[in-house]
Amino acid sequence: DAKTTQPPSMDCAEGRAANLPCNHSTISGNEYVYWYRQIHSQGPQYIIHGLKNNETNEMASLIITEDRKSSTLILPHATLRDTAVYYCIVRVLGGQNFVFGPGTRLSVLP
Amino acid sequence: DSGVTQTPKHLITATGQRVTLRCSPRSGDLSVYWYQQSLDQGLQFLIQYYNGEERAKGNILERFSAQQFPDLHSELNLSSLELGDSALYFCASSAATNEKLFFGSGTQLSVL
């Protein structure tokens, strides 16, 4: 599975959009981009995933560049409860496991 | 609530002992994954089972073993415990065709 690079930390003002970047320059054609988050010491929570088209659900939007070498997770109106570590993972559909890197620690500030 | 149940929530034991962590996956999920999270290592994949069969193995020590039973619940056995085994152990499950992982709330293991 391709490796990802994320900034170690980011701040965002409450109510503003949080844009979390992820680089995956070695991604292959059949690898999906997944995002999970972990709030404090809770179990990680699935957010969204996509292959090449932009995706949106009730939690977030995922924007994948045309060359698929990077993506951005967007939380449109961040709240204090969105403070968490966000993990970007690339993985083949049906791949054997999810490899979690260090992620980005997002702090939403009042 | 993810639907994945892990017991116990907390476990305190001594070095050299053996413990068993239990995981009940979401109803209908055939795959179970075990992860270890310590402060300095992040989330480390240990092992995956699919419908009772071992599917993938990660950085799991020989002192650790796991199995998935016919009712699909899974157990992670940790033996000859060392101080460094202190960590949060997470179980996750996924359906056969759905690629989302659903994590339990974890078992906090403290080895004293």
pLDDT in tens, chain B (112 residues): 889 999 999 999 999 999 999 999 999 999 999 999 998 778 999 999 999 999 989 989 999 999 999 999 999 999 999 999 999 999 999 987 557 899 999 999 999 9
Residues of chain B found within 8 Å of residue A97, distances taken between Cβ atoms:
33, 45, 48, 56, 58
CA dihedral A50, A53, A58, A60 (to 10 degrees): 80
Q: Please, what's the largest Cα pairwise distance for chain A?
A: 40
**CB atoms B58 and A94 under 8 Å:** no
Give the 3-state secondary structure of residue B92. Answer: strand
**Size of the A and B interface in Cβ pairs below 8 Å:** 52
- pLDDT tens digits for range A69-101: 999 999 999 999 999 999 999 988 777 778 899
Residues of B in Cβ contact (< 8 Å) with A102: 42
What is the gyration radius of the CA atoms in chain A, in angstroms? 13
The string of DSSP codes covering B38-88 is ETTTEEEEEEEEETTEEEEE-S--TTEEEEE-TTS-EEEEE-S--GGG-EE
Tokens of B76: 């992670």
Nearest CA in chain B to A32: B99
